[in-house]
Every structure is written in C-alpha cells, then in structure tokens.
Amino acid sequence: MRNAALILAVAAIMAACTTPRQQCLAEAGAEVLRLEELVARTRANLARGYSETTVTEPVTYTVFCFGKSAWHLCQKTDIRTRRVTEPIDPDAERRKLALLERRLREARARAQEAQALCLERYPEG
C-alpha cells in the first residue's frame, strides 16, 4: 500500500511537469498499478506463508541537554520503523488473490478504454 501511495504522490508531483495527455494516461492506469501491487503482495504472502507490514512509531528517550548554563535531562523523540510479521490464512489469501486478479483484469480493460479516450482527446504528445 505504501508503494501505491508513493506512486500516486510521485504522479501528483510530476503532474506539474507533464502534458495533459500524459496526465490523462497516468490517471487511466493508476488503478491498474494499485491492483498490480496488491496482487504482488498477496502472492508474496502466500509464498512466504506470512504477511509483512511496516510499523512506524515514535520512540521517546531521555538524554542530557545543555540549557541556561547547566546540563539537565530532557526528552527526545525519534521515529522508528520496523517490520512486523503476521500469520496468514492461506485459504483466505488464495480467495483474496483470485478476487484481486479478477478485479485487475477488469481494471485493465477499463484502463485500455480510458487510455484510448486520452489518445483521442489529446492526439499530440
């Protein structure tokens, strides 16, 4: 999911640098990219036998700080990212994969139609 968000963020940033035709084509294919990522993640979960998620959490600790001409204790907070593994139900994961693959086929068909409209609407690059 994180990659999908990253792809959409990059697409949004690049939108300022792209032509209307490129924007239209990218928007038409966005759902396909998101579904392809979900299919790949689900296949990887099945191959591993467990799922992996990334957890980002604040970590607070005490350090010595210097202020007003004296050392004192103060709190610092950092962000820690770690991977968490979770068991999966292989049967449920297979059902999810079948559903995602069906949705991906449908999304690809819709994307082809939308991209054809983009090319028709914006004939020049």
Q: Please determine, for residue 87, whether its predicted confidence score (pLDDT) is greater than 80.
A: yes
- At residue 9, the pLDDT reads 65
Query: Mean per-residue pLDDT for 29-41?
Result: 96
Express as a percent the part of the chain with pLDDT over 70: 86
Position 54, amino acid: T
pLDDT band at 68 (very low <50, low <70, confident <90, very high): confident
Please, what is the average pLDDT of the chain? 89
